[in-house]
Amino acid sequence: MFEPLVIGGKVEAYKKNTSLKEDIRPREQFLSQIMDIKDESIVCTMPVDKGKLIVLEVGMELEVCFYSGKNVYNADCVISSRGKEGNIFTMELKLITPLKKFQRREYYRLECTLEADVTIIDEDESAHFKKTGSLPDVLSMPSEKGIITDISGGGLRLIMNKQYEKDTVVAVKFSIAIGGRKRDMYLPARIILSFRKINDESVFDNRLQFINIKSEDTEDIVKYVFEQQRFMRQKERGM
C-alpha cells in the first residue's frame, strides 16, 4: 500500500473541511517528515513551526502530500494516534483515500499577472462535461473577471471581487504565451479555498484546482511556467 513512500520523505498537510466564513483565513500548512511505515499506517513527526511544536489532535482529518524522489503522492488521512520516540513527538496517519500520484513538476508555481474570465458551471453543463470530457462552448451563467496571480500545472490562484463556496466547479478562460505563440485556455476547475483578503475587504483570494484537464493542457501550462522562469533568470543575469 505504501511502497512508493520512503522514510525521511517530506510531508505537507492541511486540515480538511475548513468552514467557509466571511473572515476565513488561508489554511495553515503543517510540515512533517515520515519516520516509520507500518502495514496500515504512516508514522510522521509532529509539525514544528519556527521552533514551536504544533500538537495536532487525534481524529483530525488532513489533506496530505507525501514527497518521494521526483514524485508527489496525495491522500486524505486521519490522525489515529500520537506518540513520542526519544525527544521527537509523532503522529500516526491512516489513509482515508488511496494514494494518488502527481508529477512533481505540476507543483511548481509561477507568480504571474494574467486576466481571466470565471464562470460557474450549472448541473446540466456539469453533466455534459462528465459525459464528454469537454466544456460546452457557451455557458448559461454570467462570467466574472479576475486576475491570476500564480499558476501551476495543477491549479491557480485568482484575485476577484467574488467569493465562492468550496467545491464549486467553474470554467476558467485565460491566455498564455508559449514559444512566442498565444495559447487560449478554457479549463474546468474546483474551488478549494475562497477567503476575504485581510488588507482589502472587497477582494477575495480564490484557490482553484484543475479537474480532469487534458494532458496537453497540463503540458502547455508547465511549458509556460518553465519558459517564464527561464526568462526571469536570464533577466536577472542581464542576458
The domains found in the chain, sorted by start residue, are 10-105 (2.30.110.10), 108-233 (2.40.10.220)
Long-range contacts of 206-210 (CB under 8 A, 24+ apart): 206/146, 206/157, 206/158, 206/159, 206/160, 206/162, 206/163, 206/164, 207/155, 207/157, 207/158, 208/155, 208/156, 208/157, 208/158, 208/170, 208/172, 209/154, 209/155, 210/153, 210/154, 210/155, 210/156
pLDDT at 82: 96
pLDDT at 197: 80
Q: How many CB atoms lie within 10 A of CB 224?
A: 21
What tens-digit pLDDT sequence spans the chain (239 residues)?
788 899 999 898 888 744 333 333 345 678 899 999 999 999 999 998 878 999 999 999 998 888 887 677 888 899 999 999 999 999 999 999 999 886 555 567 899 999 999 999 988 888 887 788 788 888 888 999 999 999 998 899 999 999 999 889 999 999 999 878 899 999 999 999 898 887 777 899 999 999 888 888 988 998 898 888 878 877 776 65
pLDDT at 239: 54
Strands 155-160 and 200-210, sheet pairing: antiparallel
pTM for the model: 0.57
The C-alpha R_g of the chain, in whole angstroms, comes to: 20
